[in-house]
Structure 1
């Protein structure tokens, strides 16, 4: 790749068509005048005349009141008496949970919602309906300890079911690999009197497909065809193709394309990019390039920044730097310019093969072209140097990142801890933990697995045990990696009693998970 060929671009985004939700069961519940939105309620950015400027203290006061109200919502989720909470606070709390993929926090409120309604003197016709709600709620309540905010939302007197809300939650559950919960949520949506939309069905297809339940995903697509105004569209099939590619079921892609053609549904850039990305990640480079040719010959859609990033990522991940640079230049000739993701991918690819000079060149080029490095950029560089054992260079990049005002996240800290663990630097691991304790970083199970493994391998079993307890306090569920790391550490020290205890806990956790799946 000729360094002079590097250039910048505006990211090209693909817009997913949305559909309106509709109700087909209309009870006598009073209608809301306030429109319900799950999307975050952004504050106005309109400019005001100099004589009417808002007092910044009032804006700050409003923000603090909103944040306090959201916190109040989270504190009230276990109560059955809160039915008149501030709508904005509940909606923003729900939106916050969805954005953070905290599926348990997002849902529990939904499943608590109608537990009381059957006892409120409703008509006989509604009692049977509410029994279904209670059954669903009881089952789903048992699937997690923090399924809260959505149920709280459903309890509010001003609440009106919206298919769009369910679609967002279903999509979130798909990303969190919770197909059973998604299936029950879909049933509850029907019980709410809502006619499912294309978006809701597509989200359910995604929830099944993302977890490898391809039979259920295909079955859901067939169900869509029997519902009026719910025929699967290009986006639905693109999701299905993506799931097939993810689980290397490339034999199913051609039949899907054939079915789309039969139904008169044309492939668009999203469809082709999905196929190209799938082949690329699987290392099927010939198929990837052939799909690009099909895309160009189609005439209705052209390669874009997503196509470029798929090619660069595929060859870069495989260590085929020459091919990566060749296709980078090819796409430049097509008039497609790189974005920040392209540069991050180039940096990672060069770093994996130890080409640090080229990695530095890309970062310098970004600076010249006014591309600000993101946390992803620095996480990539820190990981590269950490895996290579270049501790000093890694520390230098970490300091540079902090100097620029970028906040480290759990990925950053995991890379640092792993590098220090390999170098046997317990003092450095302790230093990182002090950083974490003094920050507001959101910790997750992979982070705890990382530090538990580090302290276990470095022989500090007391600290390892403390972190295991802290993990539960932070509502991060231990997984097989957690237990395996601790068992390995105890075995290395010959502490058989602790080893047996961990093994029993792991067995209990597996049995508990199996019970939840049976309920679902």
Structure 2
């Protein structure tokens, strides 16, 4: 299928059009924590590279809302003992090779008892954590343990937390709610189970349900919100660009004397990034650096994305140097964002820097919008071979360019490089491929034909224009007039003067070429 792409097109994929306050009467009604002017950047229009932080980081960081993975992993190993932990890993390695429920149940029946049946549930919870990357297998393991309750083997609240989390990750919100209700019926409801269900709602874009559950938690006499709760809430508001609500949630954290952690600050930064509030993003980053909580890898990746989108090349390059190895190996989307930043800039060596970053993108990493940007950059810099290579790739990928600015840049490059035959070939291909056809394509051909005194071919361009319903304008006649005059065709030049007067354009020497 042919795809139409414009330079100014938005590429955001996760902006949710929810009117929080009107639909949720229980929503927070916060004061403004920071004075700031209204900015058009808070709207929904974005540049071509404007993917939000939430769109690329949501899945990767969902578990970070709940625990500091590295420190908690060490604690779990210490609590379990190295021997038990090793057995959990061994069982995980066997389970991830299986896809059928019967096979998973058979392995668990044979090898899990008594490993996963301890009353504290630590080994079972650890197994589910080890299966984070295999949610379907994790869910089958949870179902296996859940069924054992029929034999009098009870479950813990943390086991339900993991089950709710896994259900959310596979987008089965009904199951997540069922498990939460089941845990409640067994007197296992806790702040952590609330957090797990809120996280499931957030993960599936159900912001209203997440907010409603938060209000229920605040009204529960036996539970109270934790910093994890507010991390989820801040993330939800940030994704919706409800900055006032996000800031109010953070203010509640301070009022309740809860200690913000790295996830708290990262979610605030992500929210400001999504709303394109660069000053607030930077201010939060500096506050985090001055606090006992120090920036982590996620923080620097968010800041790198923010600097790229805001065009702050100096800080973008400084931050990239800090996380270069990670980005080069794991984050092609960030590399594309940096390329986009260079494309929008006017620095002298932008093409060299773009070429360096392009070398880090895998061969199958084609993106239509990026290819169109590269065509424009190469055209502006008169890198004719590179421009044509990108144009060829666009034709092969059936990418349709609809931005007039890109077409004008291409024409200008061909003109400056005096590449008439290449321009003629490009125009024919663009016509056939459904690219944006503009009058300047034909005017440029006429000027170049005229400069080479190829008058018959210049005149044939008029027929091409007519076939695409382009009328002859003042500029068209001026091009014809000076072409005939420079070729010694004074009679034809006089005829053009007459036509210009007839159409009310005035005499050629009064016209100004645009």
Question: Higher relative contact order at CA 8 Å, sep ≥6: structure 1 or structure 2?
Answer: 2
Between Structure 1 and Structure 2, whose CA radius of gyration is higher? Answer: 2
Tell me the TM-score normalised to structure 2 length. Answer: 0.47
